[in-house]
Amino acid sequence: MDNQDAQVALALRIAEEAHRGQTRWDGKTPYVEHPKAVAEDVFMRGLGPGGQVVALLHDVLEDTSLTAEDLISKGIDKFDVSLVQILTKRPGERYLNYILRCRSNGWTRLVKMADLRHNLSNLKPGSLRDKYELAMHILAEEDQ
């Protein structure tokens, strides 16, 4: 196993542990299935192992007690952790500012789009769906 594959395996273990006991909107599906689906999406779009690491960890800082320092101490590459930080919505941050920050980096833009695609795949109509569709439009704009 090369270092990139080892990083993906480590990120998966961290995500599984960090999201243990959390479920998706249906209250049944283990939450970790979401970052796994996002990682599969970015892999299929050619982002590579680094993108998979970031995708697997994209919700860890926002939705668990882990910190960026924890990820680094567990062995996640500092560059990948910096991308996870970009993908982490800060407390009190306006959603538009968050989406624009995600759009500012090619990798985070693609991971966030994969995140939104997966969220939209099983989200019922309503204001949250509208918000995510608008975010997807902003991220997909060509004039970066």
Give the residue from 17, 135, 22, 8 showing the smallest Cα distance to 80.
8
Work out the mean pLDDT of the chain and round it to a whole number. 93
Residue 124 scores a pLDDT above 90 = no
pTM: 0.93
Q: pLDDT (tens digit, 9 = 90+) per residue, 55-99? A: 999 999 999 999 999 999 999 999 999 999 999 999 999 999 999
pLDDT at 83: 97
| Phi, psi of 23, rounded to the nearest 5 degrees | -125, 165
Tell me the pLDDT tens digit for each residue of 28-65.
999 999 999 999 999 999 888 889 999 999 999 999 99
Contacts (Cβ under 8 Å, ≥6 apart) of 59: 19, 31, 34, 35
pLDDT band for 3, please (50, 70, 90 cuts): confident
The pLDDT of residue 105 is above 60: yes
What DSSP designation does 8 have?
H
The region, left, alpha or beta by phi > 0 then psi within -120 to 50, assigned to residue 48 is left
Give domain limits for the chain: 3-140
At 128 the pLDDT is 87
Q: Report whether pLDDT(7) > 80.
A: yes
What residues contact 52, with CB distance under 8 A and at least 6 apart? 8, 11, 39, 42, 43
Tally the C-alpha atoms within 13 A of residue 70's C-alpha that lie toward its C-beta: 14
Q: Does 1.10.20.140 match the CATH number of domain 3-140? A: no
Assign 144 a pLDDT band (cuts: 50, 70, 90).
very low
Q: Which residues contact 5 (CB under 8 A, 6 or more apart)?
A: 49
